Structures are given as C-alpha cells and as structure tokens.
Chain A
Amino acid sequence: MPYLLVAPAVAFIVLIYGYPIVRVFIDSFLSPTAARGTSVGLANYGFVIDDPVFWKSAGNNVFLLFGVPIMTVVALIVAVILFDQIRGWRLYRTLVFTPYILAIPVIGVTFVYLYGYNGIVNEILRAIGLGGLAQDWLGDPHLVMPSILSVIIYRELGFGVMLFLARMASIREELYEAAMIDGADWWARLRYITVPQLRTVISFFVVIELITMLSWVFSYVYSMTGGGPAFASSVLELYIWKYAFAYRAIGIASAVAVLLLVATSVFIVVQLLIRGDETDTGEE
C-alpha cells in the first residue's frame, strides 16, 4: 500500500530529476554541437575551463556567497529588534517581508530604474551633497555585482527575518526570565540565549542562501543586466542557459551543468548532515 501511495511522487521525481541528471552527465561527454552521438571525452570540460567567461561567471557566484554573512547578520539584528516588540513591530515586519513575495523580475526591472545613473539612488545622493558618490550602479562593470547583490539581499532579508522571528517565538520564556534574575543585560541575553537557540535555524538559513547564491539567481541577473556589461555580471545559470538555448552547444552547457550540480551537492550534503537527525522518521 505505501508503495502505491508514493509511486506517483516517485515517478515525477524520476522523470523530472532523475532523467535530467543522468542525461546531463552523459551529454557532457558528447560532441558540443546539436549533432549528438560522438563522444569527445573531456573536451567540453576543457573548453569550459579555458573560457574566461566561465571563470568570470563562477567568480561572480562566489562573490555572491560573501553576501550571505551580511544578510544573516542584518536579518538577525532586525529580528532581534522586532522581537522586542517595539512600537509598530507588526507593520515593520510585514513591510520588510513584502519584497520576498514579489516576483524577482518585477523587483529587478524596478531596480534598473532606481539604480540608473539618473535614478533615485543617485538623485538622493546628489540632493544631500554626496553627488560625488553617484555611480552608474549597473553599468559600471566593477559595481554591477555588488549592486545586484544588494537587490538579492533586499529580497532575501525578509525571509531571514521571518524565519528568525518564528523560531524566536518558540524560545521558552523561562530562559529569559532566569537570565534576567541573574542580572544578564540585553547583550548577554542575546549572546547566551537567543543566538544559541537559533543556531539550527541560522545554519539552515545560511545553507539555503549559500545554495541560492549558486543556483537561484538567474532571474535577478536576467532581469537587471542580462549578464552585462560585457559579461561583468554573468553567472553560471546564465552561462548554461546561453550555451544551451542561444548557441545550442549541448555538450558544453551540460558540462557546466554538471559542475554546478557538483558544487551545489557540497552544500546539499552539508544541509543533510545538519538536518539529518530531523528527518529521521521514528516508528509510530
């Protein structure tokens, strides 16, 4: 009986995950053009490794990884502040979370205007006398990745805040009461109770966001810069998409897909180890 119940789900998984993963491995060893069939060994990987655009793309993904600590710390701070239930905290919480439910293309296109050379960010800088800091945030190859990162943080922050708040709500009151009786101040309470209690959730968030930075940023880049200027904001997903669908170079796209999968797997394994005990199904 149980097998019957899980069968449809398993069928989908095999179809949508199993088949592609196997195929991507196989294709990565085949001829680069659409005319498939002939094996070229590691030539596709060789091509990819020789391609500066690939390294630029991978480098950009790695750069984005460094945004995760920033995101986590800020989300933590905001969550802690809101948890103290300052006036209007519910409104703040809703507003901070709103970007997360908006579609990424919508946010991306809007930010293209906001970050334009004569967009509001620069206008504000000019208005307060910091006009010298006004830049072409998305057009300058050196600034485009940090700018995109800022948009990613803008959106993912809400998720983090919500996550931390939800977990904080279930921290037992007695712990705090006991600490206050012992004379612990705000900082001590944060350091010795809140953060340790949040450890699992923080690590969950960090791993999820690390994976996001590797594999779920296509929409941001596509809607804001398309990978430009001059590949400065290309990321691995974009690279795969371009080689797969614009150039029909299936072998090459598959090779990069395999590399991306391997990189992501590292984080998947980490996540499994962290949450492994939580997925154990006990006997009823």
Chain B
Amino acid sequence: MRRFLSPSALFKQVLMLSMAVAAIYPVYYMMETSLKTRQAWTQDQFGLPLPPTLDNYAALLEDGRIPIWFMNSVIVTTASVVVATIVSTLAAYAIARLSFRGRTFLLRLLVALMVIPPAVLILPLFLGMQPLGLTNSYLGVVLIYVGMLIPFSVYMLSSFFRTLPGELFEAARIDGASTLRMLWSIVVPLSGPGFVTLIVVNAMWVWNELLIALVFLQDDKRRTLMAGLTTLRSRFAVNEPLVMAGMFLGALPILLLFLFGQRYFVRGLVAGAVK
C-alpha cells in the first residue's frame, strides 16, 4: 500500500500522465473535430461530437482530389523506398564487408550528408531539372528522395551488415562463392528485420515530407498528400472539421503502420545513434 502511494511514485505518475495526455490530445482533437458538422463545431469546439458524423470524410473522398493525392504519395513513397533500399544495400554491403580505398572516407561523407538541409538543394535541383522536364514529374521527385535516403540507409545497413557473423562469409568464401552470391544468399536472408526497419523508417520520411513535394510536384494532379493537405486550410478556412478530417486522413496510414509495427519504428529511428 505504502509503496504504491509513495510521494515520488505519485509525482512520477502525475507527471507522466499529464505528458501523455498532452502528447495525445492533439490527435484526439483532430479526430473529434473531424467527426463534427460545421455548425456543431462553431457552437462547441471542445465537447464530444454528438452525434458524430462521417460527412466530412465523405465530402473529402468525393472531392476527388484526396484520393489522387493519396495515390501520388503511395507511388512516390513506394518507388523511392524500393530504389533506395536496393542501391543502399549494394553500397552498404561493400562498405561493411569488403575493403577498398576510400571506404572510410565514403562512410564519413555519408554521415555528413545525412543532415544537409533540403532547402539548400531545392533551388539548384529545380533549375537543373527544369530543362530536362523533370519538374512536376514522379521521376524527378523519386530521384531526389532516393538521393536523400541513401546516406542514412547506407549508414544503417552497413552497421547492421557488420554484425553478421564472419564465419558464414568465411565458409562461403572457402566454397568459392562470389561476392554477389554472398550478398544474395547470406546478407539478404539474414537481414530481414534490418530491411523492414529501414523500409518503415524511410517510408515514413518520404510520406511525411513536405518541402520537396511542394516544390517539385506543383501540378494538382501530381501533388502528394502532405502538400495537398496544406492547401486545405486556406481553401476551407471556415470549415474546420473538414480540414481536420483531411489532416486525420493524412496521419492515418502512418498511425496504422505504427500501431502494428511499433518496434520497427523505434528500432529504426534510434538505430542511427545506438550501436
């Protein structure tokens, strides 16, 4: 009894409870507001939606643009993550298990590149892609995303590959396996969790990305979900529930992914720091 109510334990519970509530309240607010009608919201901003309505979601889906934006996000995210994973795997394998001149330099370079601000890159990339007709195209955006995913992906994968037991490679080498063969039959099968983690983290990053999507996919037909959502607020300034419904739709895919695969997120995001 005493241990339960000890002042420090109580204090910690109260603190954590209030932090958790504060952390989750905005999501709750988003959901709650999206289920109200416009009139209901102007009358009562904070109370529960009684009765709740799915009209806002219906309106958004009917509008026709949200599904298009959603598809664009899916296309761009999938293509970027797939290409980035393949390219990064090849490079990470080489860095982790082969020795060659410039290996250390390359790894250090990648670490440095991880944090270069996209704002520095957007203008020259835009100017460079324009004459090639790559602005406003999926290909241009995917190229950029892949480029930006590579430093982190290679770094993470190479750390992971290095933890693979050396004996397996020794054995394969004695058997006369080529480098590529070793990659294919040892590294890939054993790195399942690593790949899943990387893919999850990369997908989240691309899906949530705004600046590049805003600049390079301005045509409304090609716009990604995030970029499209930012236009919702000005278009529907007086229909707050509708805007919140849009926001919630934008957050939903990643939220679902998170609920089902929490540990992959955690593992991936902290992987950069913890060995």
A–B proximity contact (CB within 8 A): yes
Residues of A within 8 A of B (CB): 1-3, 5-6, 8-10, 12-13, 15-17, 19-21, 23-24, 27, 78, 81-82, 84, 86-89, 91-92, 94-107, 109-114, 118-120, 123, 154, 158-159, 162-163, 166-167, 170, 200-201, 204-205, 208, 211, 214-216, 218-219, 222-223, 236-237, 240-241, 244-245, 250, 253-254, 257-258, 260-261, 264, 267-268, 271-272, 275-276, 278-281, 283-284
Partner of B30, one of A27, A95, A106, A222: A106
Q: How far is the CA of A16 from the CA of B199 in the complex (A)?
A: 20
Q: Which residues of B17-62 are within 8 A (CB) of A? A: 17, 19-20, 22-24, 26-27, 29-30, 33, 45-46
Report the bound CA distance from A102 to B25 in whole Å.
13
Residues of A with C-beta under 8 A to B99: 2, 281, 283-284
Task: Known A5-B93, A6-B95; judge A17-B274 contact (CB<8 A).
Answer: no
A96 to chain B, nearest CB (A): 5
- Contact among B90, B255, B269 for A102, CB-based, below 8 A: B255
For A166, what are the chain B residues with a Cβ–Cβ distance below 8 Å?
Answer: 266, 270, 273-274
Partner of A245, one of B12, B154, B215: B215
Known: A16-B121, A88-B13, A241-B122. 6 other contacts (CB 8 A): A103-B207, A110-B247, A163-B274, A167-B274, A280-B104, A281-B95
Assembled-state Cα–Cα distance A113/B204 (Å):
25
Given the known interface contacts A24-B123, A86-B9, A241-B122, the answer about A222 and B210 at a Cβ–Cβ threshold of 8 Å is yes
B108 to chain A, nearest CB (A): 6
Instruction: Give the residues in chain A near B124, CB-CB below 8 Å.
Output: 19-21, 23-24, 27, 254
A205, A244, A250, A260: which has the most chain B beta carbons within 10 Å? A244
Among A81, A99, A113, contact of B23 (Cβ-Cβ < 8 Å)? A99
Partner of A103, one of B100, B144, B208: B208
CA–CA, A279 to B105, complex, Å?
Answer: 9
Task: Given A110-B247, A283-B99, answer yes or no on A222-B230 (Cβ-Cβ < 8 Å).
Answer: yes
Interface residues of B in 198-231 (CB under 8 A from A): 204, 207-208, 210-211, 214-215, 226, 229-230
Residue of A nearest to B247 (CB): A106
Residue ranges of B at the interface with A (Cβ–Cβ < 8 Å): 9, 12-13, 15-17, 19-20, 22-24, 26-27, 29-30, 33, 45-46, 87-88, 90-91, 93-100, 103-104, 106-113, 115-128, 143-144, 146-148, 150-151, 154, 166, 179, 204, 207-208, 210-211, 214-215, 226, 229-230, 232-233, 240, 243-244, 247-248, 250-251, 254-255, 258, 262, 265-266, 269-270, 272-275
Total CB contacts across the A-B interface at under 8 A: 289
Q: How far is the CB of A234 from chain B (nearest CB, A)?
A: 13
Residue in A closest to B119 when the chains form the complex, CB atoms: A237
Give complex CA distance A216, B15 in Å. Answer: 29
Are A123 and B23 CB-contacts (below 8 A) given A8-B87, A105-B229, A163-B270? no
In Å, the complex CA distance between A101 and B243 comes to 20
A105 to B117: give the CA distance in the assembly, Å. Answer: 18
How many angstroms from the CA of A208 to the CA of B19 in the assembled complex?
23
Q: Are A275 and B111 in contact (CB under 8 A)?
A: yes
Q: Are B107 and A13 in touch, CB under 8 angstroms?
A: no
Q: Which residues of A contact B20 (CB under 8 A)?
A: 91-92, 95-96
Q: Quick one: which of A5, A19, A91, A99 contacts B94, CB cutoff 8 A?
A: A5
CA distance A98 to B110 in the complex (A): 28
Pairs across A and B, CB under 8 Å, 18 listed? A2-B100, A15-B147, A16-B147, A19-B124, A20-B123, A24-B120, A97-B265, A98-B23, A109-B230, A110-B29, A114-B29, A123-B45, A154-B23, A211-B115, A260-B119, A264-B116, A271-B115, A279-B107
